[in-house]
């Protein structure tokens, strides 16, 4: 197993203050479009708060047989392998030197890779904080082989949404760019060759504690990227799909809006959402993936389901997100007031359309590669991505965007579930063709890209806060 922590060694490492203020806005309010505010008066505290609630270590787990302890983070990751790295550029933050940094989650510190006015050619380059999120595919391929590319993209969607929500919880806007020249960004940030830039996220807003930027010439420390594994196995399909979805010339610089998704209606109008006052700070750090769910008689209420689905409705702030590509199909096992069956969710009018009736527990678990948690949950979901429309609008790059959106929706499902006292788990392992067959989907209607399960988690005594 490759090392889950990338370090750029031999560079100055800056402390991020411990125990930054917790964002108090209720998580559900934030997920439905609200804004929080921050008490952080200087750059280090602001960055600490932002990263503590989006990317830091939040718990650990001990393997009972060996005693081995491993870290869990605020952002989830398939197999806990964490292929996503957070780099960030700062300009004019109070009491923090302008420069380019890499976040070190293992110590909650920032590796200073360069200082000065970096003038990097990045979209969003004039914002006071710009993140460059990268993926190290080998970390994921080690376990998931060719399928790993998808997981990297899902994980990226989760990481982006974790960052965007933490930013919003402390009062600033974020905007993500997926459309950039890959090699130019990799070279500008002097990334190690195994790191692929996937998303660039700018942060703006009056809550960011700023001063005048410095005009100092850049000074590079660079750093030596640690070797994650003694040897690595090449997965040519992963390299090929990544190259195919890369942008490499100026002609492809612009991005055009995608056609809007088709809308329709269902016969079931969802009721107003259940309420929860649990703060974003608490929910973000307490979020965990359930290993399994209690399969008894306890159901979730329709108002809880309504709140969870409402969290997926707001459009994302990204250059590729002018239209949505993901549709949600639900396998309802135990929801009060909702007959067992499969439903399609129509977000525009918050309605459900029943497309199958009857007990779906065996089907949902079977389709999710036989994982019982998808049958034991109160509700399981298939995210169906309109790859054809995405590729029509964005070329092969569209493949990435559909999966980013799925990951981002997944992150919102995790947090909404946690806010309501439920648990959730992202499920990347499913039988693609069987799902299409079961839901009667032609390729024009979309392809399954991600599964999810939400319910009452079986307590996991191995987790330590």
Ligand X SMILES: Cc1cc2nc3c(=O)[nH]c(=O)nc-3n(C[C@H](O)[C@H](O)[C@H](O)COP(=O)(O)O)c2cc1C
Q: Which residues bind ligand X (CB under 6 A)?
A: 72-73, 76-80, 151, 154-155, 158, 288-289, 371, 425-429
Closest CB to ligand X among 305 and 373?
373
Closer residue to ligand X, CB minimum distance, 345 or 414: 414
| Both tokens assigned to 213 | 């930027």
Of the candidates 139, 145, 107, which has an alpha carbon nearest to the alpha carbon of residue 3? 139
Lookup: tokens for 406: 């799925």
117 near 90, Cβ under 8 Å? Answer: no
Residue nearer to ligand X on the CB measure, 83 or 398? 83
Cβ closest to ligand X, residue 44 vs residue 76: 76
Minimum CB–partner distance for residue 426 and ligand X (Å)? 3
DSSP 173: E
Please report how close the Cβ of residue 83 comes to ligand X at its closest, in angstroms.
Answer: 10
| Cβ neighbours around 234 below 10 Å, total | 9
Pick the closer one to ligand X by CB: 72 or 258.
Answer: 72
Shortest distance, position 162 Cβ to ligand X, whole Å:
11
| Cβ neighbours around 395 below 10 Å, total | 13
Query: Minimum Å distance from CB 37 to ligand X?
Result: 27
Closest separation in Å from C-beta 436 to ligand X = 18
In terms of CB distance, is 428 or 446 closer to ligand X? 428
Q: For residues 360 and 161, what is the distance between their CA atoms, to the nearest angstrom?
A: 30
Helical H segments across 170-235, by residue range: 182-188
Kindly state the smallest distance separating residue 424's Cβ from ligand X, in Å: 9
Closest to 16 measured CA to CA, from 54, 41, 40, 51: 51
Quick one: tokens of 147? 């399928």
Which of residues 204 and 447 has its CB atom nearest to ligand X in the complex?
447
Least separation in angstroms between residue 411's CB and ligand X is 8
Q: How far apart are CA 111 and CA 377, in angstroms?
A: 41
User: What are 129's strand-pairing partners?
Assistant: 90, 203
Bridge partners of residue 103, in order along the sequence: 110
């Amino acid at each position: 197993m490759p090392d889950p922590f990338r370090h750029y060694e031999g560079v100055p490492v800056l402390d991020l203050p411990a125990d930054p203020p917790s964002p108090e806005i209720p998580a559900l309010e934030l997920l439905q479009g609200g804004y929080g505010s921050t008490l952080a008066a200087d750059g280090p505290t602001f960055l600490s708060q932002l990263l503590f609630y989006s990317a830091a270590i939040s718990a650990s787990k001990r393997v009972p047989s060996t005693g081995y302890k491993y870290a869990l983070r605020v952002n989830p990751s398939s197999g806990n392998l964490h292929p996503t790295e957070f780099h960030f550029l700062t300009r004019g933050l109070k009491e923090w030197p302008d420069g380019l940094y890499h976040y070190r989650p293992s110590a909650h510190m920032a590796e200073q890779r360069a200082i000065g006015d970096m003038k990097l050619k990045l979209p969003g380059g004039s914002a006071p904080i710009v993140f460059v999120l990268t993926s190290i595919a080998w970390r994921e391929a080690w376990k998931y082989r060719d399928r790993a590319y998808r997981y990297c993209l899902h994980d990226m969607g989760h990481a982006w949404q974790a960052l965007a929500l933490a930013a919003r919880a402390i009062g600033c806007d974020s905007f993500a760019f997926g459309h950039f020249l890959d090699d130019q960004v990799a070279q500008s940030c002097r990334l190690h060759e195994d790191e692929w830039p996937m998303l660039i996220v700018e942060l703006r807003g009056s809550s960011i504690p700023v001063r005048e930027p410095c005009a100092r010439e850049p000074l590079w420390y660079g750093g030596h990227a640690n070797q994650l594994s003694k040897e690595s196995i090449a997965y040519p399909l992963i390299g090929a799909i990544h190259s195919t979805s890369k942008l490499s010339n100026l002609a492809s610089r612009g991005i055009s809006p995608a056609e809007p998704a088709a809308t329709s209606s269902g016969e079931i109008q969802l009721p107003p959402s259940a309420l929860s006052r649990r703060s974003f700070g608490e929910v973000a750090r307490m979020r965990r993936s359930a290993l399994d769910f209690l399969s008894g008689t306890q159901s979730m209420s329709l108002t809880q389901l309504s709140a969870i689905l409402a969290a997926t409705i707001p459009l994302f702030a990204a250059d590729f997100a002018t239209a949505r590509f993901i549709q949600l199909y639900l396998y309802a096992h135990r929801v009060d007031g909702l007959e067992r069956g499969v439903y399609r969710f129509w977000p525009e009018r918050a309605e459900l359309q029943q497309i199958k009736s009857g007990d779906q527990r065996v089907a949902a678990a079977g389709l999710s590669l036989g994982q019982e948690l998808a049958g034991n949950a109160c509700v399981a979901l298939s995210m169906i991505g309109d790859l054809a429309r995405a590729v029509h609008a964005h070329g092969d790059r569209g493949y990435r965007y559909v999966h980013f959106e799925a990951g981002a929706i997944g992150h919102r499902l995790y947090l909404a579930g946690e806010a309501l006292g439920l648990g959730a788990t992202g499920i990347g392992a499913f039988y693609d063709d069987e799902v299409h067959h079961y839901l009667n989907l032609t390729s024009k209607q979309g392809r399954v890209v991600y599964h999810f399960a939400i319910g009452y988690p079986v307590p996991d005594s191995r987790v330590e806060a």
